[in-house]
Amino acid sequence: MKAHVVAFESPVHKVHDVLPPPREEIDNVLAVLFTGPCRPTAEDMRRLPLLIRCNAVKKALEWLKLNHVGYRDVSISYTNLNGYIDNEPPVSIIYRESDGVPSTVTPSIFNGPGENEVVSGDCPFIVHGLVGEDIDNRTAEQLKGIAFQHWNTGGKALCVGHSSSPRNSFHDASLYPQMFPWLFPYGLGGIGSATSSLFIKKHKRNLLMYHDKRFQMDTAFPFVAFSHDQVKAATTSSFLAAEKLTFGYVSQRLMSVDQKMLTNLAKRLADGEIVIPDTESEKLYYQVIKDIDSVAGRVDGSIISKKYMNNEIWSLVACKGAPSWYITLSLADIWHPLCLYYASSDVEYKPEIPVAPDEVF
């Protein structure tokens, strides 16, 4: 996947400074609807994922107010908390009587045979669409095909609004604690904090080597952290290129390039063809590519940086000769990243090093 992460603030209708809110306010935005021939029983209520435990909510709010920087100005209303009932949904229960038979006039497009029939056991929770297991077991091309099929068959989509301008990922210490509240439970320790003397890259490296591995095991944090580093490197390189005295010639070359011929040249290079610039136009296009590479070469993980690294390796081999590899396994090196990564993971390390029969001692 080739992409970058841009963070936007989600629209918030109201920010409460008193928690929990009154039960009446929750009724304005949420409700539970039961349909069927009988009213829901206490057993049915226990199957809902919206049950509340007042004592757990009380302890959670007291811990957040004591430890989390974002809850310092929040007041805990024990009066509102007493308005909730244990082991019951915090919202109103609406019951609508029906015979349990699906409508044949306007049936749902997702209704299938047997889905509403439960003889014993728990009532199944049916999801129509892609869930986490389906996404993990499919390739990118398969997911694209499913998305195109969904749109071509008139499928619907949910649009979630956001603010008009993205968040600043350069000097905003509250960005990461707000994006990953489960990784920063105290709301502190954000990357780029003014109170931290660590460089941003070193700060991210230390977080990824945290003892409980929550940062490196998170599915999104490593990608977001590396993506922001790439964006910052590309932006810095662009500004440095614009400050050079030769930038006027670079801009003239960019404005005078024929896009069709440049695309054709790029396709020939991508197909593995060795192109030697002969005409003045081809030399111009090669110079444009070098201008772009001068910016992309400073971005870690980019194709151009890998090309530069490859050239450096071949230059060292040509100058110093082929390297000799020595692998040393030290059990005392407890600070090695691999040692920290596999710590407490109950993994038995037994490397199998292939050795020729005449080299066996």
Predicted local distance difference test score (pLDDT) of residue 182 = 92
Predicted local distance difference test score (pLDDT) of residue 118 = 56
Q: Answer yes or no: are the C-beta atoms of 39 and 95 closer than 8 Å.
A: yes
Predicted local distance difference test score (pLDDT) of residue 331 = 60
Distance between CA atoms of 115 and 128, rounded to whole angstroms? 12
Q: Answer yes or no: are the C-beta atoms of 49 and 42 closer than 8 Å.
A: no
Predicted local distance difference test score (pLDDT) of residue 195 = 57
Instruction: List per-block mean pLDDT (blocks of 10 residues) for the chain, which spans 361 residues.
Output: 78 85 83 78 75 89 91 91 84 73 50 55 60 68 79 79 84 88 89 69 87 87 90 87 85 80 78 79 80 84 87 91 75 69 71 70 56
- Residue 353 tokens read as 């090093």
- Model pTM above 0.75: no
Predicted local distance difference test score (pLDDT) of residue 63 = 93
Give how far the C-alpha of residue 67 lies from the chain's centroid of Cα atoms, to the nearest Å: 26
Beta-sheet strands, E only, within the chain: 18-19, 32-36, 75-76, 93-97
Distance between CA atoms of 46 and 216, rounded to whole angstroms? 36
Predicted local distance difference test score (pLDDT) of residue 102 = 52
Among 233, 215, 241, 218, which residue's Cα sits nearest to residue 170? Answer: 233
Residues 6+ apart with CB under 8 A from 40: 34, 93, 95
Which 3 state secondary structure label does DSSP give 236?
helix
Task: Say which amino acid occupies 331.
Answer: L
- Residue 128 tokens read as 């129509």
- For strands 18-19 and 32-36, give the pairing: unpaired
* CA distances (Å), origin 231, targets 127, 227, 235: 37, 6, 6
Distance between CA atoms of 306 and 51, rounded to whole angstroms? 53
Give how far the C-alpha of residue 314 lies from the chain's centroid of Cα atoms, to the nearest Å: 36
Residue with the two structure tokens 């890998």: 306
